Structure 1
Amino acid sequence: MKYSALTWVKATIDESLKQTRQTLEQFVEYPSETAPLQQCVNWLHEIYGALKVLELQTAALLVQELELTIKSLLQGQIENNESTYDVLMRTLIQLPNYLDHLAIVQHDIPLALLPQLNKLRILRSQKPLSQNSFFTPDLSIVIPHHKKVANLPDEKLKKYMQQMRVAYQKGLVAIIKKPKEPAEGLKFLYTVMQRLQQATGNTPINKVWWITEGIIEALLQKGIEINKSILNLLKQLDALINKVVQHGQAALHVAPPKALLTNLLYFAAHARSKGKQITAVKKTFQLNDYLPNQNTLVAAKLMFAGPDIELMKSVVTLLKDDFSRVEETLDIFNRADNPSVTELSSLVTVLRSMANTLGMLGLNVQRQSILKQAALIIEISEGRKPPDFPILLRIANALLKIYGAVDILGVQGVHAKQRLQQSRSNQRPPLNCCQHISRNRFWHIYPPLSCPFLNPVEKN
């Protein structure tokens, strides 16, 4: 919900960030005038407030650190030099990219912002943040419902929970006595967690038992090592069970302690095993986003550091101009009574230039495709291949796919890269591609029925 709400205010935030960048550039040009810096602080404070309301904690933290750093610069507490300016501007570039990612992909990768956050803190001589500072999973997520629920009256519930507490304590004591051979005690706890879920139904406290079942499963499968921190958490669960023993149904509907849930999820996120329950916990709370693998983290850092959608649109516009030149040349060649294949040779330079641009944008699949079309045109212009309709149609269809990918990039920016780089067989233009191509792109050169993205039509 919070990511959807971001789209409602994102245009305003983007405009404020744009003005902040421009105002900061104005200060760098005229450092004696400090009024622009104060305006930057005002805009950032407004953005911070909006992100806090949306509960986008990591984004709000980055804006807050940026605001504090500019305040320090305004007060003369940090040096006004090129290094400071570079950190500030890179943050202002990453922020809109990060917000684009949240709005489009709707998954957070807070660790990807850690290096930039710490650069801002180091400028102010503040202690760098650790990875643990970014482990803030969404505790409001609803876990899967249980089909079999024992709806026990209050007194029966208290009595049953007392029995479960005795069994739980027996298992916990066994683990404490033999930490190197914990299997017997863990099996006790595993059974208790399953029975607690059946007894407490789909109440808030049930989330604790469900997550703990995953952790115990991981402990049994040696995906997590038992240590003092985990033992302390297990002891806290005993106190939670006792609350239900004392207060019955009323205790079931009290939200579990946030610190307890967060710590349980932290160990769940670090589990190396692939058991059914721990996998379900990780998937439900999207824990891999908070502790992503190295490849995902590097890709996210590059994504956030890359050009924002506004800049991407400018690059896409230039690419579309090149597509127009290619289209015009193919159109002239197609309409000529006696076309000369040498007229196509001018397309090679244009296509190679487009390939270089696509490569810089990270669209390597599209880059390879456009280079193949350039190679085909070289063979045609040199007389090694005839300018037959099937070959020209193949070139037009390939360009159509690339144009569709560029169109998506212009709308979603760097966040579309991963989807656009999937297997070639999965690449298709956007849903409205054939609509706008019917007005222009390569459509009048080759018949509509030849478009591979429409339903096939039988030929006579």
Structure 2
Amino acid sequence: MGDRHDYVALEWVKGEIAETLKQAHHAIENLLDDPQATQALDDCLSCIHQVHGSLQMVEFYGAALLAEEMEQLAVALQGNRVSHRDEALHLLMQALGQLPIYLDRVQGARRDLPLVVLPLINDLRSARGESLLSETSLFSPQLPELPALDAQALAQLEPAELPNVLRKLRQMLQMALVGFLREQDNDTNLDYLAKVFTRLEALCANAPLSPLWQVASALVEGMQGGAIANSPALRSLFKDADKELKRLLEQGMHGINQSAPPELLKSLLFYIAKAEHPTGQMLTMKERYSLDEALPDSAMVDEERARLA
């Protein structure tokens, strides 16, 4: 899955965006000079709204998210819903100055890294009393959209006594999860998980549900190799995978034509993206879902943040 961004489109709109942001910057300066110049805030909001729309159109997520938070803060200022007005105005001016710099870096480096602007986004959110965003919330890998298998393909994949096969797999999965909870014989439990997910991979072939088992298998391999640690959060995700297995048991073979919940797949992929020493299957998933682009390493993020400072 390659780079989804249209840098030609960005080049077309970047100059106009920079000019519009300058107008918004002047409006805030006027408001700081004259707190009664409320029209200046309306002008600023109009400019930011225009920029936000342009960035949504060219689909640069990090830049669009920053513009969205700027717009939300301007709306809060307009409605007198900000505790420290002058501080919020200066923060908005800072963001207005940094967004064009960020767009220049996106254009030059050919990568849009939302994590680079996360501190500024959180400052803008904090100014209007909103909760802060985490790394996970900005993690946006491109998830697959696989076509449903037809009746003939489903019939070829369906094993004899499918309900019994799925029941046994589910019992093995649940037994492993109970063992993990008690922290008993982790090697055996990982072997159980590996067998369950490998069998489900084969059962689903290239159906819409198959990515879930492929990613889960890679995670288990990572746990077996010491690249990923057993944790309550990870166990909770495996429990969510068990819900998909339960659904499959209830729906039969047609159930493999329904994708796993996107948030579940995204959360499992996040563990693979964060691992410092990925195993073979994990590397396959990292390449398939462009995880290095979706969640770049901290050194790269720090370097790009320094360029914005």
Task: Return the alpha-carbon distance in structure 1 between the equivalents of residues 239 and 129 of structure 2.
Answer: 39
For structure 2, the 5+ residue unaligned runs are 147-151
Task: Indicate the percent of aligned positions where both proteins have the same amino acid.
Answer: 24
Q: Return closer, same or farther for 1:250/1:51 CA change in 2, 3 Å cut-off.
A: farther
Taking a change above 3 Å as real, the CA distance of residues 164 and 109 of structure 1, as seen in their structure-2 partners, is same
Q: CA deviation at 1:226?
A: 1.8
Q: Deviations over 1:74-130 (max 9, x none)?
A: 45555564x545422331233233334445544342221111112222332333333
**Contact residue 161 and residue 244 of structure 1 kept, 8 A:** no
Contact 1:155 1:248 (C-alpha < 8 Å) held by counterparts: no
The worse-fitting range, judged by mean Cα deviation, of 11-20 and 249-258 is: 11-20
Aligned to 1:71: 75
Matches within 5 A, 1:156-171: 156-157=158-159, 159-160=161-162, 162-171=164-173
One-letter identity of the residue aligned with 2:242: D
User: How big is the shift at 1:63?
Assistant: 0.9
Q: Which residue matches 1:16?
A: 17
Shift in Å at residue 215 of structure 1? 0.6
Encode CA deviations 1:114-153: one digit per residue, 9 max, x unaligned.
11112222332333333333233322478xxxxxxx9551
Deviation digits for residues 304-348 of structure 1, max 9, x if unmatched?
x16xxxxxxxxxxxxxxxxxxxxxxxxxxxxxxxxxxxxxxxxxx
Tell me the amino acid that sits aligned with residue 224 of structure 2: L
What secondary structure does 1:274 align onto?
coil
Cα distance in 2, alignment partners of residues 68 and 201 from structure 1: 45
Alpha-carbon distance between aligned partners in 2 of 1:276 and 1:168, rounded to the nearest angstrom: 26
After superposition, the Cα gap between the structure-2 partners of 1:254 and 1:110, relative to the gap in structure 1 and judged at 3 Å, is: same
Q: In 2, Cα distance between the equivalents of 1:86 and 1:70?
A: 12
Secondary structure of 1:90's counterpart equals helix
Aligned residue among 258, 275, 280 for 1:276:
280
**Aligned CA distance change for structure 1 residues 202 and 87 (closer, same or farther; 3 Å):** same
1:45 paired with 2:64, answer no
Q: Structure 1 residues 282 and 87, CA, compared in 2 at 3 Å: closer, same or farther?
A: same
Q: Give, in angstroms, the shift of residue 299 of structure 1.
A: 0.8
Q: Distance between the aligned counterparts of 2:166 and 2:110, measured in 1?
A: 40
Shift of residue 210 of structure 1?
A: 0.8
Provide the rounded CA distance (Å) in 2 between the counterparts of 1:134 and 1:68: 18
> Residue 322 of structure 1 corresponds to which residue in structure 2?
none
**Matched letter for residue 18 of structure 1:** E
Residue equivalent to 1:414? none
Contact kept in structure 2, 1:65 and 1:121, CA below 8 Å: yes
Aligned residues: 297
Return the letter of the residue paired with 1:16.
Answer: I
Code of the aligned partner of 1:274: P
CA contact (8 A) 2:63 2:99 kept: yes
Alpha carbons of structure 1 residues 186 and 164: separation in structure 2 relative to 1, 3 Å:
farther
User: RMSD across aligned C-alpha pairs, in angstroms?
Assistant: 3.2
Q: Are 2:256 and 1:252 aligned?
A: yes
1:204 is paired with a residue whose SS is coil
2:226 to 222, 225, 231: 222
Deviation for aligned residue 1:6: 5.6
The answer to whether the 8 Å contact 1:27/1:34 transfers is no
Q: Decide whether the 8 Å contact of 2:141 with 2:289 is kept in 1.
A: yes
In the TM superposition, 1:372-391 aligns within 5 A as none
In the alignment, is the contact (CA less than 8 A) between 2:212 and 2:265 conserved in 1?
yes
Which of the numbers 86, 110, 116 marks the counterpart of 1:112?
116
Cα deviation, residue 201, structure 1: 1.7
Preserved CA contact (<8 Å) 2:60 2:112: no
Of 234, 237, 254, the match for 1:233: 237
- Which of the two has higher C-alpha Rg? 1
1:171 to 1:270, Cα distance in 2 relative to 1, 3 A:
same
Counterpart in the other structure of 2:149: none
User: What SS is found at the alignment partner of 1:153?
Assistant: helix
The amino acid that maps onto 1:286 is S
Structure 1 residue 199: Cα displacement? 2.5
Name the SS of the counterpart of 2:158 in structure 1.
helix
Q: 1:62 Cα shift?
A: 1.2
Return the alpha-carbon distance in structure 2 between the equivalents of residues 242 and 71 of structure 1.
Answer: 45
Cα distance change on mapping 1:49 and 1:33 into 2, 3 Å = same
Partner of 2:38: 34
Structure 2 contact 157–203 (Cα < 8 Å) conserved: no
1:204 equivalenced with 2:192 (yes/no): no
Q: CA deviation at 1:206?
A: 0.8
